Amino acid sequence: MISFESRDIFFAHRGKRAVFVRFVKITYLCVWKKRPMAKGMRYNDFSTFLSKEFSYKVQKISVNAGFTCPNRDGTKGFGGCTYCNNQTFNPAYCHVEKSIARQLEDGKAFFSRKYPQMHYLAYFQAYTNTYAEVDKLRQMYEEALSVDGIEGIIIGTRPDCVSDELLDYLAELNRKTFLLVEYGIESASDKTLQMINRGHTFACTKDAFKRTKEHGIRAGGHVILGLPGEDHEELMRQTKQISELPLVTLKLHQLQLIKGTRMALEYKQNPEMFHLYAADEYVETVIDYLERLRPDIVLERFVSQSPKELLIAPDWGMKNYEFTERLKRRLEERDTWQGKYYEGN
Ligand code: SF4
């Protein structure tokens, strides 16, 4: 039995408790609601995104379907993007002389040794994977989807290479399977896009994302951090433009100089034009970028890993997962997270 006096203390205590509970709730709403990421994560990671889509584990298998690129054959431009050497795209199992189905079967055999229960997504990665007639594309995508264990497709392409006719077909496909169209954005600055010979503008990128969304199709993108002329301030500005795109997933890549590219030659002639990140500096730059990014964007990766024999610089000698671990540690140390300083709606 509680005495009158002790009941007063009890209610006073309950009052404090209620205030405390309210404070926790408000903090949760203000902070965590702005952080729509998995428990314990400080950014939206791709594995969690996939685990919401599939009740089993999925792994991407790269496919080289033998496409070319309109920025190489003269349709959009000649010579390609100055940083591009397409040899960096292809894993060992992925040879163009093999059919799409064969490449996927080989990829499955490679991964299933370690993970027998794994399911897969066909990743049309090399060159421009929408650069053909719609009937031909239909045949290729559907060949991939006919392979046992392939649960969906990811199509890498350029923003200036998606017609409405193609999007109509992809919308149909999207109703039947998992589909993600991945656009090379690379930069939000037209000056930079011109300098790296992309052959399209940022307005073209915005248009592609808008039309893809209107067709109900999920879109992802990738950007390169550290392109010539893009300093830290420019990258922070870029976060706003990227956040405004209706993109679902994003890949960030550090600028790498690859043998046999026009950029490698430019570097040799004018090294002062380039700022190649050291690993620690890049970690901090990525965190600054994440802090300003829309909080619901899913980050698929933060670094590219070109084959050692093709890489000129920077060579960090670090695997993708090692970089991610370092990034997570620094996010903790800085007590920060994706979207912390996001200024959009
Ligand atoms: S990066 Fe893509 S668009 Fe640019 S040249 Fe290479 S394949 Fe073509």
Q: What is the mean pLDDT of residues 196-224?
A: 98
* pLDDT, tens digit, 9 for 90 and up, residues 92-127: 555 678 999 999 999 999 999 989 999 999 999 999
Q: Whose CA is nearest to atom 7 of ligand 1?
A: 127
pLDDT score recorded for residue 37: 83
Domain residues for 26? 1-34
What's the first-to-final CA gap in the chain, in angstroms? 53
Q: Are residues 109 and 23 in the same domain?
A: no
Q: What is the mean pLDDT of residues 148-161?
A: 98
Ligand 1 pocket check: which of 62, 72, 262 to mutate, most ligand atoms within 8 Å of Cβ?
72
The rounded mean pLDDT for the chain is: 90
Does residue 156 form part of some domain?
A: yes
pTM attached to this predicted model: 0.88
Q: Are residues 323 and 189 in the same domain?
A: yes
Task: Provide the pLDDT confidence category of residue 9 given band limits of 50, 70 and 90.
Answer: very low
Q: Are residues 10 and 101 in the same domain?
A: no
Among the ranges given (8-17, 62-71, 164-173, 295-304), the one the predictor scored with the smallest mean pLDDT: 8-17
pLDDT score recorded for residue 11: 42
Residue 157: which of 68, 261, 59, 225 has the closest Cα?
68
Q: Are residues 136 and 4 in the same domain?
A: no
pLDDT score recorded for residue 253: 97
pLDDT score recorded for residue 205: 98
* pLDDT, tens digit, 9 for 90 and up, residues 244-270: 999 999 999 999 999 999 999 999 999
Does residue 297 form part of some domain?
A: yes
Structure token digits, residue 191: 């000056």
Could you give the number of structural domains in the chain? 2
- 233 CA from centroid of ligand 1 (Å): 26
Alpha-carbon Rg for the chain, nearest whole angstrom, is 23
Q: Are residues 90 and 8 in the same domain?
A: no
Q: Are residues 56 and 11 in the same domain?
A: no
Q: Are residues 11 and 55 in the same domain?
A: no
CB 136 within 8 A of CB 128: no
Q: How far apart are CA 58 and CA 46, in angstroms?
A: 11
